[in-house]
Amino acid sequence: MSEPELLPLGPDGVLVRFSGRLSEPANRAALAFRAALERAAPEGVVETATSLTSVYLRFRPDILRRATLEDEMQGLLGDRDWLESDLPEGRRLWRVPASFGGAFGPDLEASAEAAGVSAEVAVDEICGARLRVLALGFAPGQPYLGFLPPHWDIPRQSDVTPEVPRGAVVVAVRQVIPFANAAPTGWRQVGRTAFRCHDPAAEVPLPLRAGDEMQFEAVSASDLQNLLNEGTALGGARSEPLP
Amino acid sequence: MSVIVERAGPLVAVQDAGRAGGLGVGLSRGGAVDRLAYIEGVALLDQPLGAAALEMAGVGGRFRLEAGMWFALTGARMKATLDGAPIEGRASYLAAPGSVLDIGSADVGVYGYLHLGGGIETPFELGGRGFHRIAGLGRAVVAGDRLPVAASQKKGQGPMRLPQMAATTAPLRVMPGPQTEMFPAETRQTFEATVFHRSTRANRQGVRLDHDGAPFSVGAQLHQVSDFISEGDIQMTGDGTPYVLLAECQTMGGYPRIGTVLPADLPRIAQAVAGDEIRFRFVSVEEAEAAWKSDEALLARLVRRREPRVRDPRDMADLLRYEMIDRPHRDVVDE
């Protein structure tokens, strides 16, 4: 099947999928394609958003026919090679303290084993990676971060964990997510951070943007406990502009 | 005016039409899980679309209406009384100041909706009033809460009701989605032939379905890239168990979805009780598009279908407490 694809997602949605597999160029393409749509969306399109490799458009079927919208999208897709797009401007690098293993990371050992490394090496690799906010999703402000090295292409668990806490750092399929809120998940919890992806009371409730970068810094369980006790929105995280 | 919550079931919360437009930052729409029942309440009280109501899962509560106000109960059929006199669902009532509305457990369905006056006016948070647990917005309603209620905008035509709907056990319509093709044709046929039962595991995020027979897993699904979810998607978890995702679902997920239940059929899943039989049938994208209706269109249709609710005065022990002549709405007077 040829990519990008136009796929139906609900009676009032179209998914423009640049890749069915996780890929860095497809992520850049999605960010750029959405930016173009935001500048000139067809009449009847009421919402656009990016996932890891796709752009979603919600439209009003009583105003705009799906077939018409798909024709317009095909035209826009043909305008240029979206996989060659630049990253958005104004990105930042976030350095985020996190504690790994123990009670804060109950699945660290099992995750490391699945990735074929020791727990120690696993933490080094997770903290050594400069991760990009590929998309915000699942819960408000929550980033999908990528990419860990290829041997971290470990599957989600077949059994859903009923609940991980806010700030749980979970891994699967070469990605890391710091959870915005307590939630069920099929991903594996390797650590915990005090950084809040979404804090309605904070000056900036949703601090992250797709395209930003993040690097975790390993801290001890007691240091993390102190950060959790302090209860600030950033949880010790610092940000700087990326050139 | 306001309403005092004297008692509340464990899953009572303010809900509205949800927060549209937040998918880009990871916020699913949320709002009432039975959107049609919610719009019915809006129609009965001439509220604006988006007005907030109480959603009550399984059990209602006891509410003291401090001021006189119109109200309507829709959705699940719940035992309810106004100052001790039984009231019917899908109908509007004008309560006298100080009345007590007592709503018990659901006889039929799960989610009941209580619309009050011109709508509940708790503060907005990220563009909505509804409790959205996974987004960390709002909270459940508990005993002792005082809920501000907007002035009624109900036009002066007296108490109204909506005609009964015929119950149906027809298969729920499912349209294909981005991952439908990941499931072999044979699996999709088995899916259509399977009788599912609503599991005891269900909430505003989704409803788990049980069935006899092989799980509906696809080979490489645990490595699938996460992508957008639509309300109504039927997600197969790693062990091949289907979940139908409802209003408060996550915005993205990696488990493959075999298809999307049409919005018009989704209330039947939300209102199914544990053990209820559920079957599915695939329809084309064109059929799904043709069946789509905007909230505005649904509301307009319900407004046309309203009919006066006539009560026998002999049944009205508290006759003198009622306002016998409906005051015209101010807009009408001004015209």
Tell me which chain B residue has its CA closest to the CA of residue A5. B178
The CA distance from A197 to A167, in Å, is 8
Of A47, A65, A155, the CB nearest to B23: A47
Q: How far apart are CA B80 and CA B82, in angstroms?
A: 7
| Residue A235 and residue A124 share a domain | yes
Last residue of a domain, one of A24, A55, A84: A84
Of A52, A158, A181, the CB nearest to B227: A52
- In this complex, is the C-beta atom of A89 within 8 Å of any C-beta atom belonging to chain B? no
CA angle in degrees (0–180, nearest 5) for B171-B172-B177: 130
Task: Give A166's contacts in chain B (Cβ within 8 Å).
Answer: 136
Q: How far is CA B284 from CA B48, B169, B216, B267, in A?
A: 33, 20, 21, 20
The answer on B137 and B57 residing in a single domain is yes
- Residues B147 and B142: their CA atoms lie apart, in Å, by 11
Contact A10 B253 (CB under 8 A): no
Look at residues B221, B269, B249 and name the one whose alpha carbon lies nearest to residue B36.
Answer: B269
SS3 B183: coil
Domain boundary among A57, A84, A111: A84
Q: What is the mean pLDDT of the segment spanning B160-186?
A: 93
CATH classification at residue A200: 2.40.100.10
Mean pLDDT taken over chain B: 90
Cα dist from A66 to A144, A233, A236, B261, B287, whole Å = 30, 42, 47, 18, 12
Backbone angles phi, psi at A34, to 5 degrees: -65, -40
- Residue matched to tokens 């290829």: A150
Same domain, B125 and B177: no
Residue B37 confidence (pLDDT) above 90: yes
Site from B29, B249, B251, B255 to mutate, A interface, most A CB atoms within 10 angstroms: B251
Residues A207 and A97 placed together within one structural domain of the fold? yes
| pLDDT at B315 (0 to 100) | 52
Task: Let me know whether A147 and A229 are in one domain.
Answer: yes
- pLDDT exceeds cutoff 80 at A1: no
Of A33-42, A116-125, B99-108, least confident by mean pLDDT is A33-42
Same domain (yes/no): B319, B256? no
CATH number of the domain enclosing A39: 3.30.1360.40
Determine which helix (DSSP H) or strand (DSSP E) holds A217, and give its type and residue range: strand A213-218
CB–CB contacts below 8 A, A to B: 162
pLDDT by residue (tens digit) across A4-57?
999 999 999 999 999 988 889 999 999 999 989 988 889 999 999 999 999 999
Residue A231 and residue A114 share a domain: yes
Q: Does A21 touch chain B (CB under 8 A)?
A: yes
Query: Cβ of A46 and B21 within 8 Å?
Result: yes
Number of domains in chain A: 2
Give residue B286's domain range.
172-291
Judge if B203 and B108 occupy the same domain: no
Residue B277 has pLDDT above 90, yes or no: yes
User: What does the alpha-carbon distance between residue B174 and residue B153 come to, in Å, rounded to a whole number?
Assistant: 37
Tell me: do A99 and A62 sit in the same domain.
Answer: no
Under 8 Å between Cβ of A90 and A35: no
Please say which residue of A28, A52, A84 terminates a domain: A84
User: Are both A9 and A28 inside the same structural domain?
Assistant: yes
Pairing of strands A92-100, A213-218: parallel
Look up residue A90 and give its DSSP letter. S
Q: How far is Cα B118 from Cα B102, in angstroms, rounded to an integer? A: 20
Confidence of residue B104 (pLDDT cuts 50, 70, 90): very high
The verdict on B112 and B244 lying in the same domain is: no
How sure is the predictor about A138, in pLDDT bands with cuts at 50, 70 and 90? confident
CA-derived radius of gyration, chain A: 19
Query: Which tokens in the block code for residue A155?
Result: 């599957």
- Give me the torsion for CA of B217, B203, B49, B52, rounded to 10°: -160
* B332: confidence class by pLDDT, cuts 50, 70, 90: very low
- pLDDT at residue A176 greater than cutoff 90: yes
Q: What is the pLDDT of residue B312?
A: 53
Top-confidence residue, A194 or B313: A194
Query: pLDDT class for B311, splitting at 50, 70, 90?
Result: low
B158 and B180 co-located in one domain? no
| Pair A192, A224: CB distance under 8 Å | yes
Q: What was the pLDDT predicted at B219?
A: 63
Query: Checking phi first, is residue A157 left (phi over 0); if not, alpha (psi -120 to 50) or beta?
Result: beta
Task: Return the ∠ at Cα B251 (arms to B249 and B255), rounded to 5°.
Answer: 80
Q: Which residues are bridge partners to A96 per DSSP? A: A216
Residue B223: C-alpha distances to residues A151, A157, B102 (Å): 13, 10, 50
Q: In the structure, what pLDDT confidence band is assigned to residue A93 with cuts at 50, 70 and 90?
A: very high
Please say if the pLDDT value at position B321 is more than 60: no
Q: Is A105 helix (H, G, I), strand (E, B) or coil?
A: coil
For residue B137, list chain A residues with Cβ-Cβ distance below 8 A. Answer: 140, 200
A150-171 pLDDT tens trace: 999 998 887 888 999 999 999 9
What pLDDT was estimated at residue B313?
55
| Cβ–Cβ gap A46/B175 under 8 Å | no
pLDDT over 70 at B237, yes or no: yes
Same-domain pairing of A140 and A225? yes
DSSP class of residue B214 equals S
A66 interfaces chain B, CB cutoff of 8 Å: yes
Per-residue model confidence (pLDDT) at position B164:
85
Q: Do B292 and A9 touch (CB under 8 A)?
A: no
Mean pLDDT, residues A102-117? 97
Same domain, A212 and A176: yes
Q: Are residues A215 and A116 in the same domain?
A: yes
The per-residue pLDDT for B223 is: 58
pLDDT reading at A225 higher than 90? yes
CA–CA distance, B190 with B217 (Å, rounded to integer): 12
R_g over Cα of chain B: 21
Residue B150 dihedral angles phi and psi, to the nearest 5°:
-75, 155
Q: Quick check: pTM over 0.95?
A: no
Residue B300 within a domain:
no
Per-residue pLDDT reduced to its tens digit, B44-101: 999 999 999 999 999 999 999 999 999 999 999 999 999 999 999 999 999 999 999 9
- The per-residue pLDDT for B328 is 38
Do residues B158 and B183 share a domain? no
Q: Which of A4-13, B20-29, B188-197, B281-290 has the lowest mean pLDDT?
A: B20-29
Per the structure, the complete domain to which residue A78 belongs is given by 5-84
Contact A140 B135 (CB under 8 A): yes
**Are B228 and A54 in contact (CB < 8 Å)?**
yes
Residues of chain B neighbouring A48 (CB-CB closer than 8 A): 24
Q: Which residues does B90 contact at the CB level (< 8 Å), separation at least 6?
A: B40, B44, B72, B73, B74, B161, B162, B164
Across A225-234, average pLDDT: 96
Give domain status of residue B301, yes or no.
no
Minimal C-alpha gap between A99 and chain B (Å): 23
The overall average pLDDT reported for chain A is 94
Whether residue A6 lies within 8 A of chain B, CB to CB, comes out as no
Continuous segment of H or E residues that includes residue B331: helix B330-334
- Helical pair A119-128 and A108-115, crossing angle rounded to 10 deg: 80
- Looking at the 3D structure of chain B, how many domains does it have? 2
Look up residue A156 and give its two tokens. Answer: 């989600």
